[in-house]
Amino acid sequence: MMRIIRQGGFVKEVDLVPKWMRRFGVSPGGPFDRESFSLCCAMSGANHALEVRGEITVEILETCLVASVGAGCYGESKVLARGQKTIFRGNHFYLSVGSGRPIELDTRPASWMSERLRVLAGPEMLMVAPHWTRATYSVSPQLSRVGVRIEGEPIEHDEHMISEPQTLGVVQLPPAGLPIILGPDGPTIGGYPRIGVVIDADIDRVSHLQPGQSVDFKLVTLDEAREAKSERSLYLSRYLSAIETNRLG
């Protein structure tokens, strides 16, 4: 119902369909910020969206409801007429097309909050960097869906490993001593020490980190991580249900 006529930044179509290809070395993909993605799709009634960093200009091919949710773009849906050309811009947002009644978010998504990132201890943390979460870091300009590089005081180590499984949110420590947080398009295996894992409830916030932004980490237990995930799931389920009700009128 729309086509891209100009883009100034990163654009990728994403969905939540399981790929089941990790065992073959294929990254799972999907939205980096699952919360904003889910809210965007709930506002339009779609099951897929465009993930955008920067600016995108679209032309509407058939009158439709267009939803946009994300940092710098906030969250709303509106009906756009056939032939209309519209610019959307933001630091990191989602754009989806569907039908229903236009609505606007009344609460900022939790994934936009710039609080400390909670992490679990990684398998090699005690061996390599037992106190790494006590330092303050900043975000490197080198960031993408593959991973977000963190700058700060290098952590010296001489740990050499054979390749081990990796997952979304793993904090790797390359030889240079500066951590990398793996994103949804990150590798499935790797030979760098894994000093931490961003908990599931906080991984969406990694997608909104900007170059130069200060970032702190907080070490938590597995029970605390599970409780945070349960609270987040309950909050999001209720929010999505309310949005769906409002969209359908």
Q: What average pLDDT score do residues 176-190 get?
A: 94
Predicted local confidence at residue 244, as pLDDT: 87
pLDDT at res. 25:
82
Confidence of residue 117 (pLDDT cuts 50, 70, 90): very high
pTM (predicted TM-score): 0.92
Same domain, 84 and 171: no
Give the integer Cα–Cα distance in Å for 106 and 115: 21
The count of other CB atoms within 10 Å of the CB of residue 127 is 13
Per-residue pLDDT at 111 exceeds 90: no
82 and 147, same domain (yes or no):
no
The per-residue pLDDT for 73 is: 73
* Residue 207 pLDDT exceeds 80: yes
Domain span at 27: 2-108
* pLDDT confidence band for 17 (50 / 70 / 90): confident
pLDDT at 27: 87
Q: Closest by alpha carbon to 110, among 223, 28, 229?
A: 229
Both tokens of 77, joined, read 């849906």
Residue 204's pLDDT band (cuts 50, 70, 90): very high
Burial bucket for residue 109 (CB in 10 Å: 0-12, 13-18, 19+)? buried
- Which pLDDT does position 248 carry in this prediction? 84
Q: What is the DSSP string of the chain?
A: -EEEEEEEEEEEEEE------GGGT------SSHHHHHHHHHHHT-SEEEEEEEEEEEEESS-EEEEEEEETTEEEEEEE-TT-EEEEEEEEEEEEEE-S---B-SS--GGG---PEEEEEPTTHHHH-TTGGGS-EEEEEEE-SSEEEEESS----------EE--TTEEE--TTS--EEE-TTS-SEE-S-EEEEE-TTTHHHHTT--TT-EE-EEE--HHHHHHHHHHHHHHHHHHHHHHHHHHH-
Domain match, 103 and 117 both: no
If we measure between CA atoms, which residue out of 203, 213, 54 comes closest to residue 140?
Answer: 213
pLDDT at res. 194: 96
Give percent above pLDDT 90 in the chain.
Answer: 70
Q: Residue 139 has what pLDDT?
A: 95
Residue 244 lies in a domain: no
Given a cut of 80, whether residue 75 has pLDDT beyond it is yes
Q: Is residue 221 part of a domain?
A: yes
Quickly state the pLDDT bin for 161 (edges 50, 70, 90). confident
CATH number at residue 172: 2.40.100.10
pLDDT mean across residues, the chain? 91
What is the count of structural domains for the chain?
Answer: 2
Identify the weakest region by mean pLDDT among 48-57, 152-161, 195-204. Answer: 152-161
Residue 241 in any domain: the answer is no
Residues 103, 124 within the same domain: no
The model's confidence at residue 124, banded by pLDDT at 50, 70 and 90, is very high
Which of 108, 135, 151 is the C-terminal boundary of a domain? 108
214-107-226 Cα angle (round to 5): 65
* CA 211 and chain centroid, separation: 15
